[in-house]
Amino acid sequence: EAQVTQNPRYLITVTGKKLTVTCSQNMNHEYMSWYRQDPGLGLRQIYYSMNVEVTDKGDVPEGYKVSRKEKRNFPLILESPSPNQTSLYFCASSSLVQDSEQFFGPGTRLTVL
């Protein structure tokens, strides 16, 4: 089954404790991205990647890092989480064929105390 998986689905942590949210897709997609969803703000793009070793900032990249060492994986790293990063995070992937559909993961709900 074609899918985007994220782990963990739920995470409660404390300020300053480094964490990684994993994202993996099995569709051989080149394009992957991370969004955060906040009430009243919709989804905003954090980082994206056009292919292995090619990443770039989205609209709200501050406080986040990403890496793309393999085509299927695109982890989101919070080196020193802060309470304003409490949010619902979604990973998405698509091919680079124009107008291809983006597939979204199930989401990771992160709470930073």
Q: Residue 98, interface with another protein (CB under 8 A)?
A: yes
CB 13, min distance to another protein, A: 20
Enter the DSSP assignment of 100. P
Should residue 61 be labelled a site residue for another protein when binding is judged by CB under 8 A? no
44 binds another protein per the rule CB under 8 A: yes
Pick from 20, 58, 60, 71: which binds another protein (CB under 8 A)?
Answer: 58
Residues forming contacts to another protein in the complex (CB under 8 A) are: 4, 31, 33, 35, 40-45, 48, 50, 58, 90, 92, 94, 96, 98-102, 104-107
